[in-house]
Amino acid sequence: MPQCCINPSILSADFVNLEAELQRISNADSVHVDVMDNQFVPNLTIGLPVVQRIQAVSPVPLDVHLMIADADRWAPGYADAGVASVTFHAEASIAPVKLARELRARGSKAGMALRPATPVEPFLDMLPELDMLLIMTVEPGFGGQAFLDLTLPKIRRARAAIEGSGVNVALQVDGGITEDTILRAAEAGANVFVAGSAVYGAADPSEAIDRLRKAGTV
């Protein structure tokens, strides 16, 4: 299994003091930035201008998760901002292969996300075009939801496909990650974990990251 990576979600951070909140997670592998448009998901968060400012001050790389409609149109702009990784939803892209290639051509890693009910099998041929596959373990749109164990078989199938393909694709999970659920997700095959309230809800986010990383190393 590849290294266990912890990517805290700033969805649970204090947006008024965002630069200080980023410093509190400087031992993270990346910071997970949720972009929501009130169309693909019912919530509304931030857009490209704010991501550009976060990119300028963050002590760790940006892992941008686009929960937006018309990803083919908007996602490349986030790669142009210089972020480390851009993840779009398969359900929001008409031409996901083309989009993944465009993200890579613009200097970003390419990730693709799947809602809990979206099967992974139709997209397995795309693995060589991706740097990361994100299996949502809650319905996208809001933080603080409980982990959906029904996604574990899909995580296992995705891990088996990645291992069988021989390509180096990270397997990320997002939603309801705690010191308890991270073990179940890791045993199923995930190696990159998005955690919001489990990190920013702790008295010391840095220590919470270390605990999660230890719990998720199998």
Which are the catalytic amino acids? 34, 174
Q: How many contiguous H segments (helices) and E segments (strands) does the chain have?
A: 8, 8
Q: Are 48 and 55 in contact (CB under 8 A)?
A: no
Q: Look-up: residue for tokens 């997209």?
A: 123
Look-up: residue for tokens 């990270």?
A: 170
How far apart (Å, rounded) are the C-alpha atoms in residues 158 and 113? 12
Tokens of 84: 């480390």
**Half-sphere CA count of 66, side-chain side, radius 13 A:** 30
The closest alpha carbon to 32, from 170, 217, 181, belongs to: 170
Distance separating alpha carbons of residues 159 and 90, to the nearest angstrom: 18
> CA-CA distance, 174 to 194, in Å (whole number)?
5
Pairwise CA distance, residues 21 & 24, whole Å: 5
